Amino acid sequence: MLHKIFLCLPFVIPTAAAGDRPNIVFVYADDHAERAVGAYGSPLTKTPHIDALAAEGVRFRNSFVANSICGPARATVLTGLHSHANGKKHNGGGFKDELPTWAKLLQSSGYQTAMIGKWHIGPKPSGFDHWAIAKGGYYGPTMVTAEGKTKTAGYTTEVITQASLDWIKSSLEADEPFAIWINHAASHRTWMPGPQYHDRYAEQVLPEPSTLFDDYAGRSPGAAASQMRIARDLFGAYDLKLPPEDGEVLGKRGNDLLNSMTEAQRSAWEAAYGPRNAAFAKAGLEGDALVRWKYQRYIRDYLRCVDALDDSLGQVRSFLKDNGLADNTIVIYSSDQGFFLGEHGWYDKRWMYEPSMRTPLIIHDPRAKSQGIVVDQLVQNIDMAPTILEYAGLEVPSSMHGASLASLAEEKQGPNWRTSVYYHYQQRDSGRTSHTVAPHYGVRTKQHKLIHVYDFDAWELYDLEGDPDEMHNLFGTEGAGEITATLVQELQRLREKFQDGTGKAI
Ligand code: CA
C-alpha cells in the first residue's frame, strides 16, 4: 500500500488517481425544517454555513419527502424507493436489506464508504466499509460499530462530526474516492442544546407562526386527533426542560437525559436553565400566555440545536478545504424531513402539510460552472440515491422510483420533469406519548395538494398559491369539482405507477 505516504504530506489530493470520480459528503440532519434555514428565508434564524453552501451551489426550493418520518425517510434515500417498495413503511421493521442502495453500488465500484450517526433503519448498515451508529440522547451518546460499543462524554452533533472527520482522514490513506453519510441526530426531539449554545436567542422573542392557535376547523378529523400540540402535548421535563413533577409522563426519561451529562455539562445546564425555570414558576402563566411561553422555549431550544448543525457543516467544509479536498468533493445538505415549528399549533412531523413534507436540499458540486442556482422543479427524497449514483459515475437501476437531480442542478433539464409528487404516511400508533397521526396518502403539484385521510374517509384539497398555510379545505366546495377530479386521477395514476397497493383504495 503506497497510500501510507499521504499521511506525511500536507494538502494531498488522494483522489487524483481516481480520475474524475468526486468524493461525496452527504450531510443529513434530522427534523431540520426549511423554516429554520436562512437560505430558505427563515424568519427565525440565519444558518451561515448552510447559507454559504446554497450561495455557492444549488438550492432546491420545492424539495419534498415521500413519508415524513425518520426511519422510512432514511430507507428511501438509501434505496431511491417509496416506503411500500423498500419495506420500511413506519418506524418499526420491514426494511428489505437485499435491495440495491447507493452505498452498496458505490462500495462495489471502488468507493470507500461510511455511515456515521443516526441509523434507524433496522438491520445493521450494509454497503458501508465503516459504520458507527449514535445511540442515546444529545449528551453522551454511545457509538455502536461492527467492533462494539463506545460510550462517549460529548455532545452528539460534535461526536458525530468528529467521528466523520476522523474517518475521512483515515480514508486518505487510500487513493479511491470516499463517500460518507453524516447522519445527524439533531435537531430531533428533545432539542437539548450543547453548552456553548445555551444562551443563544435567550433575549429574543421569536416570531410566532400565524397558525399557532389553529382550531383545525374544516380539516380532516385526523388533524384535531393528532397529539403533537405545543399547548397540550409537550411534556414538562422531557420536552420543556422544567423540573419534573411527581408521576409526570416521561418525567423519568427527562431526568435520565440530564443524568447522561458529565458534571461540567450538568453545571452549565443548571446555570442556564435554573434561573429561567425559576422565573417561569414565579410568573404563573395560564391560557394563551402559557402556550406562547412553551412555544418560545421549544423554538429557542430547537434553533440552538440547529446552530450546532450549522457549525458542524462549517467544520466539515473547513476540513475539506484545509486538506485539499474541496475542489473534488460534492457536499449535499438535507434533512430526513421538515418539522412543525408551531404551525397549526404543532411540533413534530408526519403530516403531508407543507412544514413537514418540505425538506431543505442543497447540493454543492465544486466542478459546476454556476453558483447560487435555485431550482423550482418538484424533487423528492426518492431522488437522492439516483443523484448520488450519477455523481459517482454509476448507472441508476431502473427499479429506483426517483431520478437524478444532477441535470437540474446544471440547469440542463428539459420540460419532461415530473409535475406531481406522491406521498404516503402509514404509521399507526396510540397512547399518551404517541402522536396518533392518521395514515394518509396524497398528491402535490406546484399549485395544489390533495390528501386522503383514509381511516377517517376524509379528503382535503388546498390551493397552495392562495392558501399556503393550508387552512381552507376546498374539497367538496363549489367550483372545486374539476381540479378535484384531475387530482384524484393523478393520485390514482401515481399509486399504479409506483404499485402502491397499501392503504385503503381510493
Ligand atoms: Ca426525523
**What does pTM read for this prediction?**
0.95
- Residue 19's pLDDT band (cuts 50, 70, 90): low
- Residue 291's pLDDT band (cuts 50, 70, 90): very high
Centre of ligand 1 to C-alpha 120, Å, is 10
Omega of the bond prior to 190 within 30 degrees of 0, cis?
A: yes
| Paired sense of beta strands 329-335 and 361-364, if any | antiparallel
SS (HEC) of 210-278:
CCCCCCCCCCCHHHHHCCCEHHHHCCCCCCCCCCCCCCCCCHHHHHHHHHCCCHHHHHHHHHHHHHHHH
pLDDT at residue 18 tops 70 = no
pLDDT at residue 10 tops 70 = no
Centre of ligand 1 to C-alpha 235, Å, is 19
Rounded to the nearest 10°, the torsion over CA 272, 276, 278, 283 is: 180
Q: What's the pLDDT at 12?
A: 35
Centre of ligand 1 to C-alpha 75, Å, is 12
Summarised one tens digit per residue, pLDDT across range 190-237 is 999 999 999 999 999 999 999 999 999 999 999 999 999 999 999 999
Centre of ligand 1 to C-alpha 31, Å, is 4
Centre of ligand 1 to C-alpha 418, Å, is 25
Centre of ligand 1 to C-alpha 135, Å, is 15
SS3 state at 461: strand
Lateral strand order in the sheet of 440-445? 420-425, 440-445, 448-453, 458-463
- DSSP letter for 39, please: G
Q: What's the pLDDT at 13?
A: 38
Q: How many helices (H) and strands (E) does the chain have?
A: 14, 16
Identify the bridge partners of residue 443 per DSSP, sorted by sequence position. 422, 450
Q: How many CA atoms lie within 13 A of 328 on its CB side?
A: 20
Q: What's the pLDDT at 128?
A: 98
Centre of ligand 1 to C-alpha 295, Å, is 20
Identify the bridge partners of residue 117 per DSSP, sorted by sequence position. 133, 183
Centre of ligand 1 to C-alpha 67, Å, is 10
Q: What's the pLDDT at 409?
A: 86
Closest-CA residue to 326 (of 312, 314, 308, 310): 314
Summarised one tens digit per residue, pLDDT across range 396-440 is 999 999 999 999 988 777 678 999 999 999 999 999 999 999 999
Centre of ligand 1 to C-alpha 13, Å, is 35
Alpha carbons 331 and 368: distance in angstroms, whole number:
12
Q: What's the pLDDT at 229?
A: 98
For residues 389-425, one letter each, b for 16 or more C-beta atoms within 10 angstroms of the residue's C-beta and e for the rest, the string is: bbbbebebbeebbbbbbbebbeeebeeeeeebbbbbb
pLDDT at residue 352 tops 70 = yes
SS3 state at 111: coil
Centre of ligand 1 to C-alpha 77, Å, is 13
Q: What is the arithmetic mean of pLDDT over 242-258?
A: 93
pLDDT at residue 123 tops 90 = no
Terminal alpha carbon distance of the chain: 60
Summarised one tens digit per residue, pLDDT across range 307-349 is 999 999 999 999 999 999 999 999 999 999 999 999 999 999 9
Centre of ligand 1 to C-alpha 6, Å, is 38
pLDDT at residue 17 tops 70 = no
Give me the chain's average pLDDT, please. Answer: 95
Alpha carbons 117 and 389: distance in angstroms, whole number:
21
What is the DSSP code string of 149-185?
A: EEE--SBHHHHHHHHHHHHHHHHTTSSS-EEEEEE--
Closest-CA residue to 130 (of 187, 182, 54): 182
**CB proximity list for 65: less than 8 A, separation 6 or greater:** 73, 76, 336, 337, 338, 357, 359, 380, 381, 423
Q: What is the arithmetic mean of pLDDT over 266-280?
A: 98
- In this structure, what C-alpha cell is assigned to residue 436? 396518533
Alpha carbons 414 and 459: distance in angstroms, whole number:
34
Taken in order 72, 148, 255, 311, is the CA torsion positive or negative? negative
**CB proximity list for 271: less than 8 A, separation 6 or greater:** 198
Alpha carbons 380 and 212: distance in angstroms, whole number:
27
- DSSP letter for 205, please: -
Centre of ligand 1 to C-alpha 187, Å, is 8
Centre of ligand 1 to C-alpha 286, Å, is 31
Q: What's the pLDDT at 412?
A: 74
Q: What's the pLDDT at 11?
A: 35
Centre of ligand 1 to C-alpha 89, Å, is 14
Centre of ligand 1 to C-alpha 73, Å, is 8
Centre of ligand 1 to C-alpha 133, Å, is 15
Summarised one tens digit per residue, pLDDT across range 38-77 is 999 999 999 999 999 999 999 999 999 999 999 999 999 9
Closest-CA residue to 121 (of 56, 86, 75): 75
Q: What is the arithmetic mean of pLDDT over 145-171?
A: 97
SS3 state at 197: helix
Centre of ligand 1 to C-alpha 312, Å, is 18
Centre of ligand 1 to C-alpha 186, Å, is 9
Q: What's the pLDDT at 341?
A: 98
For residues 203-234, one letter each, b for 16 or more C-beta atoms within 10 angstroms of the residue's C-beta and e for the rest, the string is: eeebebbebbebebeebbebbeebbbbbbebb
Summarised one tens digit per residue, pLDDT across range 435-478 is 999 999 999 999 999 999 999 999 999 999 999 999 999 999 99
pLDDT at residue 374 tops 60 = yes
Question: Long-range contacts of range 239-244, CB-CB < 8 Å, 24 or more positions apart?
Answer: 239/189, 239/190, 239/191, 239/298, 239/347, 240/294, 240/297, 240/298, 241/192, 241/273, 241/277, 241/297, 241/301, 242/277, 242/280, 243/277
Centre of ligand 1 to C-alpha 232, Å, is 21
Q: What is the arithmetic mean of pLDDT over 376-386?
A: 98
The label of the residue with cell 425517510 reads 73
Centre of ligand 1 to C-alpha 368, Å, is 30
Q: How far is CA 264 from the centre of its chain?
A: 30
For the chain, percent of residues with pLDDT exceeding 90: 92
- DSSP letter for 358, please: B
pLDDT at residue 9 tops 80 = no
**CB proximity list for 165: less than 8 A, separation 6 or greater:** 315, 316, 319
